[in-house]
């Protein structure tokens, strides 16, 4: 069987070796079944021999007791010297060997010898060979060893052939749809590797291969999103860098023709500002890239976020003395968080509130239902519900109130989103009681208490 890729010639043609899959399943399961069956049979027979040996011997002795009695009675009517010849004359009338032996000529254990000389019937070879001492004599009358008829040999062969064919048919019925699903997975993987980013595995959810298919589809979706995100990111970066680069180029051209020192300093300061803007963009881009796509190895700390948050707010208030910044810690509790990145998320929201609010910010920390939340409210114009979903995408600005003139590069809220995702939490937007926007940072808390702050 071959997988044909007619739509994309770049996909390599690979052989789906169904026969190899069938043989592997057949022999592995067949060998397992045979080993298990033989082991169980051997163990069962061993247990029977150990726990039911006396009952089995008694059963075999009862089977031949009458035959031994009749033969012994008939033999005793003959002189002992003629017993061997007499047994030979009787042999044609028996379908199994009969003979006369001495105890010394037989391979007996001391226990078997004692049992035989005591006049009891001795059973050997699992009921296929019997011995009994003739009364008032040391001679041993032997019957067997019994032979199975030759018909069982071809019959056993036929049974084994039927078993192998039936087992092979069942294996084929099971492996064929399994191989078809593997073929679909193989085709999807090869197509995706050849550049077909829309390739997905479509198999029933009830299949045993469904977890593999779902894992591949999830991986393919994530890779597709990352590639699309990186393309958009590269496009946005080129767009963001084009303006300061153009201003620097224009400043250099003007600087060559400037005659006064004041003009040169003015153009030099302008180019320095453009360079600073590019550095800030690259710094934010580095942070966003580090947090985007994979969960970073955060150095989580366990503790109360209240003192940590108060320090951040006091430092921020010192840097923005013209802003009215108030806060409230409603409850005490502990949670696990990474101080540096979580501080970055809080500061980004505070900067956002300064940029788009009207000089008033209120921060509220509380614990409820196993979740720690930090609410940052401003008294600006707020964010429309239809814009709240896309504002966390990189390089997104909402016009007219949230444009480039207000500062920033559109990465701050995207960074906040990724920081909260790395903490197993989320950031959401509501309307604040102050009339502006409320940004809420929420992530799982460790425990909480109802004692007031």
User: CA 362, CA 355: separation in Å to the nearest integer?
Assistant: 14
How confident is the prediction for the chain on average, in pLDDT?
A: 81
44's tokens: 């069962």
Task: Check whether 448 has a pLDDT greater than 50.
Answer: no
Task: Check whether 8 has a pLDDT greater than 70.
Answer: no
449's tokens: 């208490």
The per-residue pLDDT for range 398-410, each reduced to its tens digit, is 654 444 444 556 7
Residues 309 and 428 sit within 8 Å (Cβ to Cβ):
no
Q: What is the DSSP string of 124-169?
A: ETTTTEEEEEPTTSSEEEEEE-----TTHHHHHHHHHHHHHHHHHH
Which pTM was predicted? 0.49
Q: Which range is least confidently modeled, 153-167, 231-245, 247-261, 294-308?
A: 231-245
The per-residue pLDDT for range 248-289, each reduced to its tens digit, is 887 787 777 777 777 778 878 888 877 877 777 777 666 676
The per-residue pLDDT for range 320-348, each reduced to its tens digit, is 889 999 999 876 788 999 898 899 899 98
Per-residue pLDDT, 401: 43
Using 50, 70 and 90 to split pLDDT, how confident is the model at 376?
A: very high
Task: Check whether 14 has a pLDDT greater than 70.
Answer: no
Supply φ then ψ for residue 384, to 5 degrees: -65, 145
Percent of the chain with pLDDT over 70: 85
User: CA 169, CA 26: separation in Å to the nearest integer?
Assistant: 10
Task: Check whether 362 has a pLDDT greater than 90.
Answer: yes
CA nearest to 356, candidates 381, 374, 389: 381
Highest-confidence range of 132-146, 222-236, 401-415, by mean pLDDT?
A: 132-146
Task: Check whether 5 has a pLDDT greater than 60.
Answer: no
332: helix, strand or coil: strand
Task: Give the DSSP H or E segment for 324.
Answer: strand 324-329
- Helix, strand, coil percentages for the chain (3-state, nearest 5): 55, 15, 25
């Amino acid at each position: 069987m071959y997988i044909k890729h007619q739509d994309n010639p770049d996909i390599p043609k690979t052989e789906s070796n169904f026969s190899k899959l069938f043989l592997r399943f057949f022999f592995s399961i067949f060998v397992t079944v045979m080993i298990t069956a033989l082991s169980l049979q051997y163990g069962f027979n061993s247990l029977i021999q150990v726990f039911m040996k006396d009952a089995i011997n008694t059963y075999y002795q009862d089977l031949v007791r009458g035959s031994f009695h009749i033969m012994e009675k008939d033999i005793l009517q003959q002189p002992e010297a003629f017993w061997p010849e007499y047994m030979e004359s009787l042999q044609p009338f028996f379908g199994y060997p009969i003979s006369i032996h001495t105890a010394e000529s037989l391979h007996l254990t001391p226990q078997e010898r004692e049992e035989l000389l005591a006049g009891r019937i001795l059973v050997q070879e699992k009921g296929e060979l019997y011995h009994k001492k003739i009364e008032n004599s040391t001679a041993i009358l032997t019957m067997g060893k019994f032979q199975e008829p030759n018909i069982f040999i071809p019959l056993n062969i036929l049974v084994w052939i039927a078993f192998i064919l039936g087992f092979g048919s069942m294996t084929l019925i099971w492996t064929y749809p399994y191989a078809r699903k593997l073929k679909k997975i193989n085709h999807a993987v090869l197509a995706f590797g050849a550049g077909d980013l829309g390739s997905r595995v479509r198999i029933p959810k009830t299949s045993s291969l469904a977890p593999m298919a779902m894992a591949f589809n999830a991986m393919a979706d994530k890779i597709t999103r990352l590639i699309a995100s990186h393309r958009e990111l590269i496009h946005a970066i080129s767009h963001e860098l084009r303006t300061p680069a153009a201003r620097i180029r224009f400043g250099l051209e003007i600087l060559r023709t400037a005659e006064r020192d004041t003009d040169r300093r003015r153009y030099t300061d302008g180019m320095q500002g453009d360079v600073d803007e590019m550095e800030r963009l690259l710094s934010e881009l580095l942070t966003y890239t580090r947090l985007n796509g994979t969960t970073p190895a955060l150095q989580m700390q366990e503790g109360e976020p209240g003192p940590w948050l108060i320090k951040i707010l006091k430092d921020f208030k010192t840097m923005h003395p013209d802003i009215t910044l108030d806060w409230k810690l409603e409850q005490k509790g502990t949670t696990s968080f990474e101080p540096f990145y979580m501080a970055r998320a809080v500061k980004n929201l505070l900067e956002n509130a300064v940029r788009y609010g009207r000089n008033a910010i209120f921060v509220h920390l509380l614990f409820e239902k196993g979740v720690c939340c930090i609410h940052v409210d401003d008294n600006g114009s707020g964010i429309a519900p239809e814009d709240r979903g896309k504002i966390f995408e990189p390089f997104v600005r909402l016009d007219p109130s949230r444009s480039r003139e207000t500062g920033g590069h559109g990465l701050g809220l995207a960074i906040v989103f990724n920081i909260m995702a790395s903490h197993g939490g989320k950031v959401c937007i509501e309307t604040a009681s102050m009339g502006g926007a409320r940004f809420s940072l929420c992530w799982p808390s460790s425990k909480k208490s109802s004692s007031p702050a």
